[in-house]
Amino acid sequence: MQTVTMELPEEVFSALRRSPNEFAGEMRLAAAMFWYSRGMISQEKAAEIAGVNRKQFLAALARHQLDVFVVDFDDLEREIRCG
């Protein structure tokens, strides 16, 4: 597993009332939800990035009122035509 190091002002953690570990976990989840909602990664990969299982990832999407299923309408249209 790779490690990513970021430097952030100390005020970030106190402003958000989060410990550095809580902040890192929330960042992982936010990034995973963003990339998933853009159709860049699968649910499985997003859950892995977020550090949770798939069920927990789907629950997080619902909590944040994001679509659970991402559909690429161009792909769907091609599939219907070739069908």
Give the mean model confidence (pLDDT) for residues 15-40: 93
Number of domains in the chain: 1
Considering the domain boundaries, does residue 68 fall inside one?
A: yes
Considering the domain boundaries, does residue 28 fall inside one?
A: yes
- Compute the residue count for the chain: 83
Considering the domain boundaries, does residue 43 fall inside one?
A: yes
Of the listed ranges 15-19, 24-28, 46-50, the least confidently predicted one is 15-19
What confidence tens digit (pLDDT) does each residue in 36-46 have? 999 899 999 99
Considering the domain boundaries, does residue 22 fall inside one?
A: yes
pLDDT at res. 72:
66
**CB 30 within 8 Å of CB 24:** no
Considering the domain boundaries, does residue 42 fall inside one?
A: yes
Helix (H, G, I), strand (E, B) or coil at 35: helix
CB atoms within 10 A of CB 44: 12
Q: How far apart are CA 29 and CA 50, in angstroms?
A: 4
Give me the domain span that covers residue 18.
Answer: 10-82
pLDDT at res. 41:
93
